[in-house]
Chains A and B, each alone.
Chain A
Amino acid sequence: MSLLSLRGLSKSYGTVRANRGIDLDVAEGSIHAILGENGAGKSTLMKLIYGVESPDEGEIFWQGDKVSLSSPAEARSRGIGMVFQHFSLFETLTVVENISLIVPGRKAELTSRIRELGRDYGLEVDPAAHVHALSVGERQRVEIIRCLMTDPKLLILDEPTSVLPPQSVEKLFETLLKLRDRGVSILFISHKLEEIRSICDHATILRDGAVTGNVDPREHDAHDLAQMMIGRDMPAPRPFEARAPGPVMLELAGLDCRPDDPFQISLKSVSLQLHAGEILGIAGVSGNGQGELARLISGETRRHPEARAEVMMMGQPVGHLGAAARRKLGFAFVPEERLGRGAVPEMSLADNTLLTAHRLGLVKRGLIDRRAEEAFTARCIADYDVRTPGPQAEAGALSGGNLQKFIVGREIELGPRLLFVAQPTWGVDIGAATAIRRKLVDLRNAGTAVLVISEEIEELFEICDRIQVIREGRLSPSLDVSETRVEDVGRYMIGAEERARP
């Protein structure tokens, strides 16, 4: 008998059919993968199982009995726990306070149980710490502990590895295997094929809200799984051209920055050099200062005029200049948040091009040249394969991948000498991600300096010449990709390299 069975589950949001007639069987003591691209309906399905949303149609069977899970509390009482992708922790509360929100008991009692579970499963965390002071990996441990304390029979993990460095991923997998051996089934949501092959004993593949396959992932190679997931062959990466590096286009020299905001990371003597015609990647676990570094380079955070030389662009000190002045020098920037910083969701694509491309003849004598604006937008849409009705479509109506292609296209069309892209393919489907990476490599081959911040190491290894790792606001020395292994970068990500050295 299955622990959990779904029969014909459907859920629509407006006209979007997020889940269509899903059948799923999770066995006892199994690590079961739900594999699918972003937007395939994985998260919606998990919300239905955890009672956050109710299905429009279909039935849920728990240990053979038909149930209706109308709230998370009900799901928990039946033994279903969930670790969210975007953590549902409260930053201003302590670890034990967070846990006491769903686990009954006195604080002292909970504290000792947290320590105990931490030792048993390798999930060490300080119960009295405030969550805002914890690293992303620690927060995930808190989420898992919180679930374990409700004694679940089924644990749902939504993209648990997307925020972890490789070594922590291994540790997480050990924890999951231990849990499985003690009789807890795990629903493991991911779009990373190798991970699923290494730990899961069953995989259900989703595409466009429907099940497209039910397989044992250990019997299929990554290529097969990818084909089931995206419905076509994986596009090949762009071949790399060797180039002699050009002049330095971006230089940070011993940058120190202490923010007022206690939730932000201080940067400590950050140094980097980026040459024309190369791609430099900044790797690291999220929350180690990437956001702060990005704002310093983009010009959203300005330095005191005396410290102007801490940021040099095209050979000029720009530390004290704002974003517009830096862009005038030939700098272009794709921020991490597409909606709100990269584009204005309520405005049309055409008006969104105006935000950064206004210098390219789109404005004449203070008036907008609508025809030029439209033509420029149409070019971005065509060249970057943006799937949209046209230049007048609202930016917020595009899917994440399409909007990202559009924003990257807009910035590349500016003809920058220095392009900075933060998280180029976050939440973007495989097809669009590959297209974006190819464009970045093309740009490098054409002699532009490209800086990329990403949490996906594989992505950095695919496109970068060099990688530096950011950890707790410090940058590692520069690592040449051709002479570096993923594990080396991983060691810098968790700080093992610093400890190993005197």
Chain B
Amino acid sequence: MATVIVVTSGKGGVGKTTTSASFATGLAQRGYRTVVIDFDVGLRNLDLIMGCERRVVYDFINVINNEANLNQTLIRDKRVDNLYVLPASQTRDKEALTREGVERILDELKQNFDYIVCDSPAGIERGALMALYFADEALVVTNPEVSSVRDSDRILGILSSRSRRAEHGDEPVKEHLVLARYAPDRASRGDMLSVDDVLEILGIPLLGVIPESQTVLQSSNAGVPVILEEDSDAGAAYSDLVDRFLGKNLPHRFLTSQRKGFLKRLFGGS
């Protein structure tokens, strides 16, 4: 039976799409048949991050409205086997995203996939609620920053009250914290919330810490999920995150920075 995982955060710009792209790519690299769905109707971006924007023909809403079937709509990744993208519609309005429609498509995808990754839009409107409604597990992407942490807590409340699992009284959605854009040196100076601070406030298990990294922007420029940049810190962190999700017990890396020399600290420089 397929597992449905929502990547959510409440706040925008914290790294949901980056995380969805790398997480799905990582699962596929490890041999699991994986599809990643963009729920951001009207503001799709997953296609750009995955580098398949020019191959979009039909979209999620077309499938819901029976204007195209899944075979016609799913975009097969050219780099990684077992990986497919279901793009969001760029033109339709969000009302087209009905619970019945989403459920039908997810049920169909469950026949053919091991993992279904739902990239949620920001906010707590219909698109975000639809993305999390059918979830079995949730990656809550958070930045070490006050508004992001608060919004994540809000989303955790919604997961535990408005998901299908909550409404049906089933086992609750399994929550994982993904702390992204973490700058260990700033945290150690006391200028940024530390991993422990965020864990203490949100109270959910930590799946991975993604260090702030220039590679994330570079790889999104190129349309390559950052997990494929294996030599970068962010890529390695996502790779660990996927392994941990699949049950490997790996220590968290990139939690400390290398100390700068005295002169460098005195005279600045990054």
Task: Say whether A associates with B.
Answer: no
